[in-house]
Amino acid sequence: MSRDLPDFDLSRFLPYRLTVASDRLSAGLARRYRTEFGISNAEWRVLVHLADAGEVSIRELEARVHLEKSKASRAASRLVEAGHVTKRPNPEDRRLVRLSLSDRGRALMTELLPMAASYQERLEAVIGTHMDDLEAALEAIMEADL
Amino acid sequence: MSRDLPDFDLSRFLPYRLTVASDRLSAGLARRYRTEFGISNAEWRVLVHLADAGEVSIRELEARVHLEKSKASRAASRLVEAGHVTKRPNPEDRRLVRLSLSDRGRALMTELLPMAASYQERLEAVIGTHMDDLEAALEAIMEADL
DNA sequence: CAGTATTCGTTGCATGCGCAACAACGTCAA
DNA sequence: TTGACGTTGTTGCGCATGCAACGAATACTG
């Protein structure tokens, strides 16, 4: 029995804790989106960006909502398939694509967005006074190079 | 052009921000573990728990390190395959399994654990004074029911 | 004790993922 | 204009994942 290993408490390891907390929130949301609307997490990000950006290309999705381009492309395809999104070529640069919400997609977002907003509110209530520091910490993580 | 959709800023949506930040940390770590040791994230969690828990069953992994049982089972298989972990049946309850670090696995952890600890330190330096609130917020998220 | 329910770990299946390769298109210099 | 180079989006491939179903082992109940 060699007890020479350094002590290490996984439950205090920040990347682990962040992942677990994030998975918890995402799983809860994803379950609602999926069961009620048949929408996955990636698809939801696309929809949200379309809802306030209008016409968008794949590479813009990649940059704005942190979706790798193949993931963005496939999410968009599924949304087109489902009738929530319209895809057409960009005539000014035919490499690009113009994604936009269809009427049906817009109707969907009329339900989804308020649901997300109320989720955010409940979350902020739960987090309470730590909210500002939480945001500051997340920004520090995003800007740090590690 | 119906501009009737509620405003919603994805970049302020907490589940999204948490996921992005967590992915950023996990991806950085995973890359190092994978390129230097051929270890995935799930496998790493198993190793860490084995390093301070000794002999462990799959269901204990599931409970302690938040790995769904099939994920834990497959991670363990890969580690056995790689020679880092030993698996044998539990004689007192033959449904259970006893996973433990092999000598090779222990040697691996001698390198991995200090690396993780120093990563945590750099992270805490980056987060600075927000650290306590960050932890409090994460705990609130974990305990809330949403 | 027999018979049923429960627990544990593994596996089959469908699916989503990341990465590299690719075709189509545009840019730029000579 | 031509040809080399960069960009954009899609797709093939291998792999990890989540879920349900399953066999084996144990616990429980009357």
Q: What are phi and psi of B89, to 5 degrees?
A: -70, 155
Cα A91 to the chain's mean position, in Å? 29
The mean pLDDT of A42-63, rounded to a whole number, is 96
With a cut of 60, say whether residue A39 has pLDDT above it: yes
Q: Give the nearest nucleotide to A71, CA to C1'.
A: C17
In order along its 146 residues, chain B shows pLDDT tens digits of: 555 789 999 999 999 999 999 999 999 899 888 888 999 999 999 999 999 999 999 999 999 999 999 999 999 999 999 999 999 999 999 999 999 999 999 999 999 999 999 999 999 999 999 999 999 999 999 999 87
With a cut of 60, say whether residue A16 has pLDDT above it: yes
Report how far apart the first and last C-alpha atoms of chain B are (Å, whole number).
35
A40 touches A82 (CB < 8 A): no
Question: A100 is written with which tokens?
Answer: 């936009």
Cα–Cα distance between A39 and A30 in angstroms, integer? 8
pTM confidence score? 0.93
Cα–Cα distance between B12 and B1 in angstroms, integer? 26
- Nucleotides in C strand less than 7 A from protein CB: 7-12, 16-20, 24-27
Q: What is the DSSP letter of A7?
A: P
- The domain limits of chain A are 24-143
A32 touches chain B (CB under 8 A): no
Q: Three-state DSSP class for B66? A: coil
- Residue in B10, B22, B116 nearest the CB of A8: B116
CATH architecture of B24-143: Orthogonal Bundle (1.10)
